[in-house]
């Protein structure tokens, strides 16, 4: 495991992180009255599946995915989904939705008996899949971002999409290094 320099990140009062590249998604809305982000949910995504570096994820989250570009796209182009953050294999951080709003990343979900995790969570997508490890650059960005969010927001725990939607989702998958993230962020709670 090689060491990567963590990026220096800041969170503004409007919920945008600097210097994340901002790609605004229309797929978000206000949190319910009194709801605050208490849970950090880690996901993985690659479009086309198991391929990296293309525009597919950003297109999906901005409702511009061309269903004719790949057979899998025809199955998902109608979806209206988003995440707060996306971390590319290079470690580049992209933000789609401010932390002050509810991104549509968790779907049907439950955490500690509370349904509808989008209401009280933040979603971070890692460019990846369930069948190979994530990059050191991704962990460096993920740790820096997670640490910032835990310091600035009322987050209480972190977990995987697989844990809030068991049987329906498998991400971030068996190659995700939970101890590495937790040690880097120095928080308890969540999933191993």
pLDDT of residue 191: 47
Question: Which ranges of the chain have pLDDT less than 50?
Answer: 1, 189-192
- Give the range of the structural domain holding residue 67, as residue numbers without chain letter: 10-185
Catalytic site residue from 92, 125, 127, 192: 125
Amino acid 187: pLDDT: 61
- Rounded to 10 degrees, the C-alpha dihedral 63/69/70/74 comes to 50
Is 19 a domain residue? yes
Q: Name the phi and psi angles at 169, rounded to 5.
A: -130, 150
Residue 4 has a pLDDT of 74
Q: What is the reported pLDDT for 186?
A: 86
Q: For residue 4, is it within any domain?
A: no
User: Is 58 annotated in the active site?
Assistant: no
User: What pLDDT is stored for residue 49 in this prediction?
Assistant: 97
Q: Closest Cα to residue 47, out of 70, 78, 79?
A: 70
Identify the pLDDT of residue 119. 98
147 located within any domain: yes
Tens digit of each residue's pLDDT (9 = 90 or more) over 118-136: 999 999 999 999 999 999 9
pLDDT digits (tens, 9 = 90+) for 149-185: 999 999 999 999 999 999 999 999 999 999 999 999 9
pTM of the entire structure?
0.95
Number of domains the chain contains = 1
- Domain membership of residue 54 (yes or no) is yes
User: Which tokens hold the place of 68?
Assistant: 């004719």
């Amino acid at each position: 495991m090689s060491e990567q320099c963590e990026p220096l990140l800041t969170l503004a009062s409007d919920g945008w992180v600097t210097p994340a590249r901002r790609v605004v998604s229309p797929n978000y809305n206000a949190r319910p009255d009194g709801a605050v982000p208490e849970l950090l949910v880690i996901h993985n995504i690659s479009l086309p599946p198991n391929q990296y570096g293309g525009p597919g994820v950003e297109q999906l989250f901005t409702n511009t995915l061309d269903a004719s570009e790949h057979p899998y796209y025809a199955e998902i182009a109608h979806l209206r989904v988003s995440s707060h953050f996306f971390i590319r294999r290079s470690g580049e951080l992209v933000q789609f939705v401010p932390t002050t709003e509810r991104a549509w990343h968790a779907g049907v979900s439950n955490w500690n008996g509370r349904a509808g995790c989008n209401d009280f969570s933040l979603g971070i997508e890692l460019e990846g899949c369930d069948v190979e490890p994530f990059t050191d650059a991704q962990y460096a960005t993920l740790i820096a971002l997670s640490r910032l969010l835990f310091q600035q927001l009322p987050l209480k725990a972190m977990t995987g999409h697989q844990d809030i939607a068991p049987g329906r989702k498998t991400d971030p998958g068996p190659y995700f290094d939970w101890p590495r993230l937790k040690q880097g962020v120095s928080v308890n709670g969540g999933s191993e």
